[in-house]
Amino acid sequence: MTDPEAALAYFWHPVCAADELAGTTNGVMGVCLLGQRLVVADLGAGRYACLVDRCLHRSTRLSVGRVDEGAIRCAYHGWRWGADGRCVEIPAAPDVPIPARAKQEAFEIEERYGLLWVRLDGRVPTRIPACPAWDDPTMKVVAGQPYTWPTSALRRVENFVDLAHFAWVHDGSLGRRDHPVPPVPDIVREDGELRFRYLPLALPETSPEAMIGTSDYRMPMPCTVDIAFDIEGMPGVRRHLWMTASPVDSGICRCFWFTSRNDDRDGDDGPHLEFQQLILDEDAPVVCNQDPPELSLDPGFEISLRTDRVSIEYRRWLAELAEAASAPDRVTEVLVGRSEAPRRA
């Protein structure tokens, strides 16, 4: 049985919003990614650092220190650590050479979409997932409040593209219980993404903020979903919903998301965010109570049906990535090595 989280270290994941870090008083912030405790730091002039959250001198967390002269200063004895992980100052021994082994593990970090993204293992040439609405001048992009759920990032993503649950969990908001059978879409792999189109059931009454209409799904592997909507009954109106689930630990994820629109650009964002919060509040009781919170790829552990087509394809690709995880070249091949014709039910 393969571990679907085995290859996640090769991918970029957001660990916090840039504004969260900017709002700290000391310029540093403790985060966790794939069970690894990290410190992220704003070094100024658009420069960031990400290190293991531990001073090698006496093991105090660097996240209780501060940024000082473009490096992270430990709060305990003042040792200062640069963005490359090397110690650059030991105040108690200014005339003694800094030990060669005073080098902390450092990780790649980039700002994109107002989020700070970290990659723990750079041996695979992965890229930060696309957010198509971000650079579209016709779209207004609104960031939702990040949320943390006691479920794995992969479970969260799978829920996001589970078409069969709309009728049951989102009765009246995204689906109808008297029409529980979802369409089974054709699914393609393309450019490191799963892609499919969903034609939802028309609802008799929906709010103007509801995202109901022809939906084009893009799933940049492995933890991101972008949905482009042509809104039903509103010609020319386009909206996007983008979400990425960051794997904090095996059974915990922190989700970052945006809702975007090309209509009502000067209007109140509140109702748009409130509709998405309604959907989150409907999902949370079931998704946060999946046992175990980790997603298993053992085909005998859970029962799948034809209407689980998207989930089946997602799990198939995760299994291929997990099996290739020990060999970076094979991960690249699995990720972008081929495109496939649509899979039909």
Q: List pLDDT tens digits, range 241-257.
A: 999 999 999 999 999 99
Q: Please give the pLDDT value at position 345.
A: 46
Backbone region of residue 35 per phi and psi (left: phi > 0; alpha: psi in -120 to 50; beta: other values): left
Average pLDDT on 275-292 reads 95
State pLDDT tens for residues 180-222. 888 899 999 998 999 999 887 665 556 656 667 788 999 999 9
- pTM of the entire predicted model: 0.93
Give 71: exposed, middle or buried? Use CB within 10 Å, 0-12, 13-18, 19+: buried
Q: With beta carbons less than 8 A apart as the criterion, state whether 216 and 195 touch.
A: yes
Distance (Å, whole) CA 56 – CA 324: 33
Tokens of 323: 């099996």
Q: Give the closest residue to 190 by CA, choosing from 8, 338, 12, 344.
A: 338
Q: Averaged over 295-303, what is the pLDDT?
A: 91
Dihedrals phi, psi of 323, to nearest 5 degrees: -65, -30
Mean of pLDDT over the chain? 91
What is the structure's pLDDT at 155?
A: 97
**10 in Cβ contact with 328 (< 8 Å):** yes
Compute the distance between CA of residue 126 and CA of residue 133 in angstroms, rounded to an integer. 21
Q: Which pLDDT band holds residue 2 (cuts at 50, 70, 90)?
A: low
84-93, 142-151, 157-166, range with the lowest pLDDT: 157-166
pLDDT at 307 over 70: yes
pLDDT higher than threshold 50 for residue 1 = no
Residue 158: per-residue pLDDT: 97
Token duo for residue 280: 């989150």
CA distances from 143 to 77, 79, 218 (A): 39, 37, 19
Percent of the chain residues past pLDDT 70, beyond the cut: 93
Do 310 and 183 contact (CB within 8 A), yes or no?
no
The amino acid that residue 185 corresponds to is P
Residue 205 has a pLDDT of 58
Q: Could you give all domains of the chain from N- to C-terminal order, each with its CATH number?
A: 9-119 (2.102.10.10), 140-343 (3.90.380.10)
The H or E element spanning position 283 is helix 270-287
Reading the block at residue 152, the tokens are 């794995």
Query: Given the DSSP bridges, would you call strands 187-190 and 340-343 parallel, antiparallel or unpaired?
Result: antiparallel
User: Rounded to a whole number, what is the largest CA-CA distance in the chain?
Assistant: 78
pLDDT at 63: 98
Q: How many CB atoms lie within 10 A of CB 229?
A: 22
**pLDDT at residue 264 in the model:** 86
pLDDT band for position 340 (50/70/90)?
A: low
Phi and psi torsions of 14, nearest 5°? -75, 140
Average pLDDT over residues 300-320: 93
What is the full DSSP assignment across 31-64? EEETTEEEEEEEEETTEEEEEES--TTT---GGG
Amino acid at 345: A
pLDDT in tens, 38-80: 999 999 989 999 999 999 999 999 999 999 999 999 999 999 9
Please report, to the nearest 10 degrees, the dihedral formed by the alpha carbons of residues 58, 61, 65, 68 taken in order: 80
pLDDT of the residue at 142: 96
